[in-house]
Amino acid sequence: MSELLRVRGLERHFGGIYATAGVDLDVGAGELHALIGPNGAGKTTLIHLISGALAPDAGAVAFDGKPVTDLAMHERAGLGLVRSYQITSVFPHLPALENVRLAVQSRARDWGSSFRFWRPAAADRAMTEEAASLLERVGLAGRGAAPAADLAHGEQRALELAMALATKPRLLLLDEPMAGMGHEESERMADLVASLKGDISMLLVEHDMDIVFRLADRISVLVAGRIVASDAPAAVRDNPEVRRAYLGDEVVPL
Amino acid sequence: MKKLVEPLLLAAAVALPFLLAATGNEFYTGMATRVMIFGLAATALNLIVGYGGMVAFGHAAFFGLGAYGVAILMQHGVTSAWIAWPAAVALAALAALGVGLVSLRTRGVYFIMITLAFAQMLYYLVLSLKNYGGDDGLPLANRSTLAPLDLGSDTGFYLVTLAVLAAALFAMKRLAASRFGSALAGIRQNETRMEALGYPVFGLKLACFVIGGAVAGLAGALMANQHGMASPNLLYWTQSGMLLVMVILGGVGHRYGGLIGAVVLLGLEEVLAGVTDHANLGVGLFLLAVVSFAPRGIAGLLPKGSRE
């Protein structure tokens, strides 16, 4: 499997605390790679660093063989390195359909830039149709006219994913797509993520271990800012270091 | 029925100077022209504040530069509006580009302060131009010429101003519905998400800022002609404040917000000035009332269908 994402020696500290302390990570093309780790291990910081929302103190990120460490977030997104958000980040006052249509419109490589001042955006029917079919795919058909702020939490998570998909990512960084969802909603989201496998490479941050072990091709375990294991699910499950991190050898009886 | 409102208002605006002339009230033609010019400048600011989500506090600088562009060219013998007005627009746009490139790296209060600082710098720059009137301002020998149209008569100038304003408002409608306008709506609501989607947010905001500056420059070019001079006061920070008050009064982010604000504010000043020496107090109270009871401005009180 050829590498799509290659992270080497990535470091980021906040004051004296190393949130990311020398991370090496590879995600192969077509792979669904899960990133797990205890709370505070630095998973979201790592997503920020890979997506370009934060600049690293040291280390390098390469995407599809090209260094992207110095590129801004929107430039990385333009290459197909796209993230979704753990805390739902949509356009609250715009209708759900327009949220996705904006995400479709962002693909300058397909439509040309957004520096178009005269022609109505609605005249580009293909954009609206694509947005509508994405809404349908994530189970929001019929909700297109509702402002994003009026959607239920689970629906907003689905909208968030539809927006990420609308950018036609090559590697999708999914930061806890099931966060705050009920069991049924989580299962639906898991099915959706499973249906994307093969088409889109994914780096999935998720707490639900059932889902992670069911879906992932490979799993990396982040503990205290370091990757302690990166392997197939079965091997990770049996890894003593991972067990120690999760069960905790530092738990001292009171 | 709703479709008829705009054409009817436009027809009434076209008829106004002829009515005023017929009734011997020509004086008010000039005043109506002045209101429309301020309406145009406030509309330009509303594009930046209401559509782009950037609270800029130095818009008078671009307004004033447009006026100086026309006045300085006229001093050098360029009287044709076909040359001078585009030059004034270009001057204002260029200044907006420079100011925007620096100040759009900041947010919120810092953005307000830095745009104010740049505007004051331009104000003092203009004051120091001794060859172009210094603090006395630079008079125009005549109005610009706009062959084959006649700007010499107040009615002719009124009609040209009206045409410019109507064109700007129409362009604003097109812009709001365009891809660029959609992207601005996204930036206004969630800038980080737009970056994550791959939008060049800085460039889009800069374009919005420059367009707003350019249109303010056009308003300034008209103002110089209306006023018969370019005065440094046009660039002063109180003028920026007045334009912001117009936008807030009229309706932030509403296509007619700037125009409504200009009509109401200047109208109120005119009426109050006739009855009291403390007109500003009345204007202030009125602004307080609007902000308290109609946070979306006067335009926000209009029926919903009228909003674009």
Instruction: List pLDDT tens digits, range A12-61.
Output: 999 888 899 999 999 999 999 999 998 888 999 999 999 999 999 999 99
CA proximity to A89, closest of A176, A191, A168: A176
Once rounded to an integer, what is the mean pLDDT over residues A74-89? 91
Confidence bin at B124 (pLDDT 50/70/90): very high
**% residues pLDDT > 70 (chain A):** 96
Of the pLDDT bands very low, low, confident and very high (cuts 50, 70, 90), residue B307 is: very low
Tell me the mean pLDDT in the region B18-31. Answer: 91
User: In this model, does residue B110 exceed pLDDT 50?
Assistant: yes
pLDDT at B306: 47
Could B180 and A82 be called an inter-chain contact, meaning their C-beta atoms sit closer than 8 Å? no
Contact check, Cβ <8 Å, A94/B185: yes
The DSSP-derived string for A214-234 is HH-SEEEEEETTEEEEEE-HH
Give the mean model confidence (pLDDT) for residues B133-140: 92
- Lateral strand order in the sheet of A58-63: A17-28, A3-14, A58-63, A66-67
Domains of chain B listed by start with CATH number: 2-306 (1.10.3470)
- The pLDDT tens digits of the residues spanning B269-284 come to 988 888 888 888 888 8
* pLDDT at position A5 over 90: yes
Class for the domain spanning A3-80+169-248: alpha beta
Q: Is the pLDDT of residue A246 over 80?
A: no
Residues B15, B17, B22, B26, Cα dihedral to 10°: 170
pLDDT over threshold 90, residue A254: no
Buried/exposed A137-172: b ≥16 CB within 10 Å, e otherwise: bbbbeebbebebeebeebbbbbbbbbbbbbbbbbbb
**Contact state of A89 with B190 under an 8 Å Cβ cutoff:** yes
ipTM of this complex prediction, to 2 decimal places: 0.87
pLDDT of residue A52: 94
Contact assignment for B198 to A77 by CB distance below 8 Å? yes
What is the pLDDT at residue A248?
60
Contacts of B174 in chain A (CB under 8 A): 117-118, 120
| Nearest residue, CB atoms, B190 vs list A75, A91, A117 | A91
Directed axis angle between helix A125-137 and helix A153-166, to 10°?
Answer: 130
Count CB neighbours of B247 within 10 A.
30
Could you give the percent of chain A with pLDDT greater than 90? Answer: 72
The 10s digit of each residue's pLDDT in B199-219 is 999 999 999 999 999 999 999
Q: What is the pLDDT of residue A103?
A: 96
Average pLDDT of chain B to the nearest whole number: 93
Residue A252 has pLDDT above 70, yes or no: no
pLDDT for res B304: 57
Q: Which amino acid is at B41?
A: A
Taking CA atoms, what residue in A is nearest to B205? Answer: A115
Q: What is the pLDDT of residue A1?
A: 52
How far apart (Å, rounded) are the C-alpha atoms in residues B201 and B192?
9
Tell me what the pLDDT averaged over chain A comes to. 91
- Contact A102/B197, CB-based, under 8 Å? yes
Model-level pTM greater than 0.80? yes
Rounded alpha-carbon distances, angstroms, from residue B174 to A21, A119, A158, B46: 50, 7, 32, 15
Is some CB atom of chain B closer than 8 A to the CB atom of A118?
Answer: yes
In the predicted structure, residue B73 carries a pLDDT above the cut 50:
yes
Q: What is the pLDDT of residue B273?
A: 85
Q: Is the pLDDT higher at B218 or at A108?
A: B218
Average pLDDT, stretch A59-72? 95
Distance CA B286, CA A16 (A): 53
Mean pLDDT of B98-126: 96
Q: For residue range B293-304, list pLDDT tens digits in order.
A: 988 899 988 875
